Amino acid sequence: MCSALTRCRRVQNTGGRTARLDRRDTKDDLGLLPLPGWLQTGLVGDGGQGGSMSIGKILAVIFGALLLLVAAAVFAGGLVIANVDQDADDFFVSDSNRLETGSYAIVVDSVEVDEAPSWVVDWLTNVLDVRIAATSTTGDDLFMGMGDSADVEAYLEGVAYDEVISLDLDPVEVEYREHAGTAVLAVPGDQGFWVASAEGPVTRTLDWVIEPGTWSFVLTNADAATGVSADIVTGVKVANITTLMWVLFGIGVVLALIGLALLIGGLRSPRQPQTPSPLPADTTDKQESLGTTQ
């Protein structure tokens, strides 16, 4: 007796002719039905016969899509560098922002460079320069200086000044913290602790090479009078920035090509193998075989 799931073959003598019965000829009589394609193949593949995607193809589609996303982000970085405004000296510059106060000075306090990891500090000091341009809106001569925060704090002790604590660019909005005082500010150009400074009428430009430490920026009138108002434009210059832009574009192209190759390979249907045509069935033998089972 053959079970329903076991392929069997029965040979019977039918008057000198041999009738062959197998599962293929009797599956309808035995109630057997072919298994559905998804159950036969599943996620383990179907041996190249088409049907469900294999695990490898699914992973190829996933990683291909992820690489395309990364490539888009890298491309975006290159486009940002290519489209940011630069001045004649290759500084990336901001929009103009007005700083003004009725006190002696405006201060951006405690710019801490030395708290970053040492390799970041080394990179910044080697490749990054800072430029601050100030244009007086009152016609008075301006003074800008960058100094060690401890020296600046001592210089401003007892003096009324405003500290910038927040700067929003869209829309432009500056928030100050007022420091009260009754002392008179000393003339800033006479001080010897500035590591970078600029002084004069109309528009002045201060260039500062970043160094480890804690720094403060001071904007005041050159004669140390109260009432300071200026339009400020800040900029940074990064060494080899053009090279960095092209490197980003190149990496983006490579990642995009790899991602596309994986995505196309994962979505492409496998080539169907060519199977030989079946031989003509022996109609007489099959009819005799079926007659035997009745």
Distance of CA 22 to the CA centre of its chain: 63
Domain that holds residue 211: 82-243
Residue predicted with more confidence, 171 or 137: 137
Question: In 10 A of CB 224, how many CB atoms?
Answer: 17
| Angstrom distance (rounded) from CA 60 to CA 140 | 66
- Residue 121 confidence (pLDDT): 62
Indicate the average pLDDT of the chain: 76
Tell me the pTM: 0.56
| Angstrom distance (rounded) from CA 48 to CA 35 | 18
98 assigned to some structural domain: yes
**Inter-residue contact 108 to 220 (CB < 8 Å):** no
Q: How is residue 11 written in tokens?
A: 């040979």
Residue predicted with more confidence, 87 or 9: 87
154 assigned to some structural domain: yes
- Residue 32 confidence (pLDDT): 44
4 confidence band (pLDDT: 50, 70, 90)? very low
Residue predicted with more confidence, 266 or 178: 178
Question: In 10 A of CB 273, how many CB atoms?
Answer: 9
218 assigned to some structural domain: yes
Q: Give the list of residues 6+ apart from residue 191 with CB closer than 8 angstroms, or none.
A: 145, 147, 155
231 assigned to some structural domain: yes
278 assigned to some structural domain: no
- Residue 154 confidence (pLDDT): 96
58 assigned to some structural domain: no
**Mean pLDDT lowest among 3-7, 72-76, 179-183:** 3-7
**Mean pLDDT lowest among 28-37, 109-118, 159-168:** 28-37
pLDDT tens sequence across 218-274: 999 999 999 999 999 888 877 667 777 888 888 988 998 998 888 888 777 666 566
pLDDT at 284 over 60: no
CB hemisphere CA count around 15 (13 angstroms): 5
pLDDT at 285 over 90: no
35 assigned to some structural domain: no
193 confidence band (pLDDT: 50, 70, 90)? very high
239 assigned to some structural domain: yes
201 confidence band (pLDDT: 50, 70, 90)? confident
**Inter-residue contact 198 to 130 (CB < 8 Å):** no
In the chain, how many domains are there? Answer: 1
pLDDT at 123 over 80: no
- Per DSSP, which regions of the chain are E strands? 9-14, 17-22, 92-93, 97-101, 105-112, 128-136, 142-148, 161-169, 172-179, 194-200, 203-209, 214-221, 228-238
| Angstrom distance (rounded) from CA 72 to CA 257 | 12
Strands 161-169 and 105-112: parallel
- Residue 270 confidence (pLDDT): 63
